[in-house]
Amino acid sequence: MSPVVESFWQTLAAQGERPALQEGERRLDYRQLLDEVGVRAAYLRRIGAQRLSLELDNGIEWVLWDLAALRAGVVCVPLPGFFSPDQQRHVLDSAGVDTLIAADPARHAPLGFEPLAEGFAQRRPPQVAELPAGTAKITYTSGTTGQPKGVCLGADLQLRVATSLWQVCGPSGVERHLCVLPLAVLLENVAGFYALLLGGALIELAPLARVGLEGASRFDLPCFLGVLERSRPNSLILLPQLLLAWVTALESGLPLPGSLRFVAVGGGRVAPQLLERAEALGLPVFEGYGLSECASVVCLNTPEQRRIGTVGRPLPHLEVRLAADGEVEVRGARMLGYLGEPAPTGDWLGTGDLGHFEEGFLVLHGRKKHQFVTAFGRNVNPEWVEAELVQQLPIAQAWLHGEAQAANVAVLQPRTADTTNEVLALAVARVNAGLPDYARVHHWLRAEQPFGAANGLATANGRLRRAALFQHYRTAIESVLAAHDV
């Protein structure tokens, strides 16, 4: 056991009988948590588990089995519930998972899993990919291609990220955290419960549907607000779209929970106007930035060091610099490698994101590979414009295209079916008023249907499949441009 991991367990043990986890009426203090983890770790060793996949909803059991895998030296492979059945099969087979904990493990019987105990199944996997030495977790990024990609992470890196986060967030006085995002994603796993456990906080857990999150893109705002009222947490982690829905509700007159001290938002670009709206309401929102390849958070705004429009300063355990072309590079926090690919070389990890610094705060421009060049030679990052568009209440989704064109065309999905074209046009005009000419939406189309995994126009967690969108709307875009003689 490494000194970093050993220190983690010692820190938890020092919390004694402080409350640690709560789910409904069930509550465990830190001493009970460690006892439960020890029993589960012994069980994993006894059944010979090597690579364990968790297909569980958010709850105490997810946390306990994740920690048990860490304790037993078993590789943990979270299986997101928002992945498609085909993607889940890919995860189980590509990672060589031999042990599965699930609400219904029998549904994976076609992959060779046989019942072991209630909620458990095991198999001898058909193939076992060699893992980089020290792999403790394989997290799968949904990416923009069909199959998710396995990122191999060591235990030390995950815990160093968690330690850094508590170091910069601890002064906020967080004592109670509500898990809103899936534990199967690093943002809530490492940045959420690992960091909060190191700080001795109480973590409240509930099945995702009970906090208002359904699948990858459905958010039940009234349900979420009800949980906030009952739980009265000090901290949350939210995605930009969840924050937008909440801020809009608060602006309509709903009360702001007085218990909140730190609301982290990440996982996608956040429009500065949204953060300004949150600040005007007194909502303590802090934008951050991270990626799976760095075990989650890289930069974060804090109450002591905050600048709206940036993703914050780098965390203490790492360094960030810019390459000659503006790509963000990170040193001191990198994955062990992608599953099935050669190990990365060199000290600096290229993130694929473009940005610049303002007095030590990182400002992101968007993905390097998403940037397009107009017919006038201007570089445009569509994510910037798209984030501004979905900030407008009538617009639920937006995709911008302008590669080699004299005019940019957006495809817009309205938030409600009865949203008129006139209302959409006014929303676009409001956005254009704050954009330079070369980045404006010169023409737009109404989407035929929402962008989603079912039609192949977005990933399971809502990221746009840009190539698929272009192929789908290419003819319509060409018609619009021809009609305007562009």
Residue 378's identity, in one-letter code, is R
Spatial contact of 179 and 58, defined as CB atoms under 8 Å apart: yes
Instruction: Domain of residue 248: give its range.
Output: 1-365
Q: Which residue has the higher pLDDT, 333 or 437?
A: 333
Domain match, 293 and 397 both: no
Per-residue pLDDT tens for 401-436? 998 888 999 999 999 999 999 999 999 999 999 888
- Per the structure, the count of domains in the chain is 2
Domain match, 343 and 471 both: no
Query: Is 142 a residue whose pLDDT tops 70?
Result: no
* Domain end call among 323, 342, 365: 365
Domain match, 380 and 301 both: no
Query: Is 461 a residue whose pLDDT tops 70?
Result: no
Domain match, 188 and 314 both: yes
The total of other beta-carbon atoms located within 10 Å of residue 209's CB is 14
The total of other beta-carbon atoms located within 10 Å of residue 303's CB is 14
- Who's near 226: CB < 8 A, 6+ residues apart? none
Domain match, 79 and 154 both: yes
Percentage of the chain exceeding pLDDT 90: 75
Per-residue pLDDT tens for 210-253? 999 876 557 889 999 999 999 999 999 998 878 988 998 999 88
Task: Report the predicted TM-score, pTM, of the whole model to 2 decimal places.
Answer: 0.84
Query: Is 146 a residue whose pLDDT tops 70?
Result: no
Per-residue pLDDT tens for 57-74? 999 999 999 999 999 999
Domain match, 360 and 378 both: no
Specify the pLDDT at position 239.
86
* Domain end call among 335, 365, 395: 365
Mean pLDDT of the chain: 92
Query: Is 144 a residue whose pLDDT tops 50?
Result: no
Interatomic CA distance for residues 97 and 122, integer angstroms? 9
Q: Which residue has the higher pLDDT, 43 or 146?
A: 43
Domain match, 263 and 346 both: yes
Helices then strands, counting H and E runs in the chain, come out as: 13, 28
Percentage of the chain exceeding pLDDT 70: 98
Q: Shortest CA distance to 169 belongs to which of 337, 25, 3, 312?
A: 312
Q: 432-442 burial, b if ≥16 CB within 10 A, otherwise e?
A: beeeeeebbbb
Per-residue pLDDT tens for 355-369? 999 999 999 987 788
**CATH classification of the domain holding 426:** 3.30.300.30
Domain match, 258 and 333 both: yes
Specify the pLDDT at position 271.
81
Domain match, 298 and 400 both: no
CA distances from 230 to 52, 239, 257, 334 (A): 34, 21, 10, 39
Per-residue pLDDT tens for 11-38? 999 999 999 999 999 999 999 999 999 9
Query: Is 143 a residue whose pLDDT tops 80?
Result: no
Query: Is 145 a residue whose pLDDT tops 50?
Result: no
Specify the pLDDT at position 218.
73
